[in-house]
Amino acid sequence: MTNMVKRLRFVTPVLFGLLLVLGAPGAWSQDQAADSDLPKVRVITSEGAFTLQLRPDVAPKTVANFLRYVQEGFYDGTVFHRVIPGFMIQGGGFNEALARKSTHAPIVNEATATLPNLRGTIAMARTRDPNSATSQFFINVVDNDFLNAGVRGPGYAVFGKVIEGMGVIDAIARVRTGYTRGMADVPVEPVVIESVTVLPEADPS
C-alpha cells in the first residue's frame, strides 16, 4: 500500500483511524512569545527521549488540555499505536495491550494558519468531527500541508514542536509495523511512552 493511500485511509476516525498534523518552522517565529516563556515537556520513550516546546499563545485550550493529561500521569505507559513512515507517529490513547484509556471531554479545534503542519510539530488527533480531540496526539515526520486549516476543511490543531530529539521521532517512524486487533500500522514491538513531565522554567538570574 502506498503512503498516499495510507494517508487517505488515515483521514477516517481511529476505531476508524485518527489523524495527525504538522507545523511550519517558518511560522513558528511569527507572533511567537519569547522561547523562555513557553512551556517545555520532556517525553521519555522506549526508543529514547525528546523535548517539546508548546504554544499556549496560539492554542491555549489545546495546550491546557495536553498539560492536564501530562500532570495526571495519563500518558505514562501508553504507546505510539499508529506509525506511518513518511507521514507521522501517533500515540497517547492506548496502553501496551492496546486497550483504549478513558479520557476527559473533547476540546474545541484550535487549528490555525499561524501554526501550519510541517515536520517536527505535534498536533491533536481527532475523528471527522473537528471538535473531537481528547488525549491522542501525533508528531509529523514530514511536511503535511494538506492537514492545514482551510486546505481540506478545518484542519488539525498544531500546539507545539520537537526542539530536541527529532532523531528519536525518526527512529520510531522506522519501526516495523503490522495489523493488531483490527488496527493497522501498529508497531510489532511496542513503542512505550515511559514518562511525560513538564520541565521547570529557566532561572532568569
pLDDT tens digits along 32-66? 555 768 999 999 999 999 999 999 999 999 999 99
> Is 27 part of a structural domain of the chain?
no
Does 198 score more than 50 pLDDT?
yes
pLDDT tens digits along 8-18? 344 333 333 33
Q: What is the pTM of this model?
A: 0.84
> Is 7 part of a structural domain of the chain?
no
Does 100 score more than 60 pLDDT?
yes
> Is 21 part of a structural domain of the chain?
no
* pLDDT at 37 (0 to 100): 87
- All residues at 6 or more sequence positions from 51 whose CB lies less than 8 Å from its CB, including other chains: 40, 41, 42, 43, 162, 163, 164, 165, 199
Nearest to 68 by CA among 49, 50, 41: 41
Considering its fold, how many domains does the chain have in total?
1
- All residues at 6 or more sequence positions from 116 whose CB lies less than 8 Å from its CB, including other chains: 22, 23, 24, 27, 145, 148, 158
- The parent domain of residue 146 ranges over 40-199
> Is 159 part of a structural domain of the chain?
yes
Does 124 score more than 60 pLDDT?
yes
> Is 15 part of a structural domain of the chain?
no
> Is 11 part of a structural domain of the chain?
no
